[in-house]
A = this chain, B = another copy of it.
Amino acid sequence: MELDERKRKILQAVIRNYLETGEPVGSRTISKYTDLNLSSATIRNEMADLEELGYILQPHTSAGRIPSDKGYRFYVDSMLEDKEREVVEMKELLLERQDKMERLLQQVVKVLADNTNYATMISAPKPQGNKVKFVQLSQLDDHQILAVIVVEGNVIRNNILEVEERLSEETLLKLNILLNTHLNGLSLNEISLGRIAAMKQQAGIHSDIVGRVIDAVAQAIQVEEDLQIYTSGANNIFRYPELADHQKASELIGTFEEKSGLSDLLQEAQEDENGRGIQVYIGSESPVSSMRDCSVVTATYELEEGMRGTIGIVGPKRMDYDKVINTLKNLQNQLDELYKGKR
């Protein structure tokens, strides 16, 4: 059964009211607040229908109604449709330009958390290519060689290798040329055992060093796999009583500190991404079990060519979806500007 106009209005009114107050809303409240001019009794009948349809539910017999996950879903979907046409116009978030990526991301989540009063997270932009761009060995001191590995997207990894004795300048030069000619432009899958064997052969007595460099290269590419996550405002969850009891709070805080769960969530959001760049997970829709009483809104952003990351906002199911989505769109724009301004 489809919702008729009146039911939709009532449902929206229930949800809006609940978003504001966090308390179950009764028929009398709706009767007064909406411009429907219906008595509370009529509203009650409609609400009984809406409950049967699964959009709202009663915490206990003689209480008002609160939205179910299905109800929230309806609300968010209809709101997103409106948003499509709407021009986002909001006060700017105060982002200062930062030279260090790390600082920038840390700042983004901080600003976002302060502005929304929810918990926020961001995954560092990740290059999709992951090809080796440049390798360089340098003698650090008598027993250490520094291996610098640059991956496409200018992700840089350093490794220090212990060696028995100092290598001569020319040996180092030869090894550098050898490594670069063989490895540049290759992705992890393209570095075959055959190629490695060939390189080792050419390296002669220094084949063990080549082996260790290749290990380092493999690690450099792979380490990037587990995304870096920055978070802020995890303690905002205490603002919302429905999330703040010990059990739930502990799980949530754990998830935020552990970060691996967040990583999965953000990655999935990025894959689910449906073009408009905004995703909403309500309650159990989220893959992270500790967030079953939360809603998560995510946005994908792009910083440099092909370097994509995801921002996430975690709050109670009764979060201010409107504001959150606007803020995220705004942020997407700003990060975009930042990218354009860079080149």
Contacts and interface: CB of A to CB of B under 8 A. Distances in A.
Interface of A: 99-100, 133-134, 136, 138, 140-141, 144, 146, 148, 150, 154, 156, 158-160, 219, 223, 231-235, 238, 244, 246, 249-251, 253-254, 256-257
Contacts of A141: 133
Contact of A235 (B99, B138, B156, B254): B254
B238 A257 contact: no
Given A146-B150, A148-B148, A238-B250, 4 more contacts: A100-B223, A156-B160, A249-B249, A253-B253
Contact of A234 (B160, B233, B253): B253
Given A250-B238, A253-B235, A257-B231, A156 B146 contact: yes
22 contacts: A99-B219, A100-B223, A134-B138, A134-B146, A136-B136, A138-B148, A140-B150, A140-B154, A144-B154, A146-B148, A146-B156, A148-B148, A156-B160, A231-B257, A232-B257, A233-B257, A234-B253, A234-B254, A235-B249, A238-B249, A238-B250, A249-B249
Contacts of A136: 136, 138, 148
A244 B244 CA distance: 10
Contacts of A158: 148, 156, 158
Nearest to A155: B158
A241 B134 CA distance: 54
Residue of A99, A141, A156 with most partner-chain B CB within 10 A: A156
A296 B134 CA distance: 46
A221 B11 CA distance: 59
A154 B144 CA distance: 10
Nearest to A109: B257
A82 to B, nearest CB: 35
Contacts of A133: 140-141
A154 B246 CA distance: 43
A75 to B, nearest CB: 28
A134 B139 CA distance: 9
A154 B253 CA distance: 34
- Listed from nearest, the 10 A-B pairs whose CB atoms lie closest are A238-B250, A156-B158, A235-B253, A235-B254, A235-B250, A238-B246, A234-B257, A148-B148, A136-B138, A253-B253
Contacts of A249: 235, 238, 249
Contacts of A231: 257
Contacts of A246: 238, 244
Contacts of A254: 234-235
A101 B150 CA distance: 19
Nearest to A160: B154
A210 to B, nearest CB: 18
Nearest to A258: B232
A141 B185 CA distance: 13
A223 B100 CA distance: 10
A224 to B, nearest CB: 13
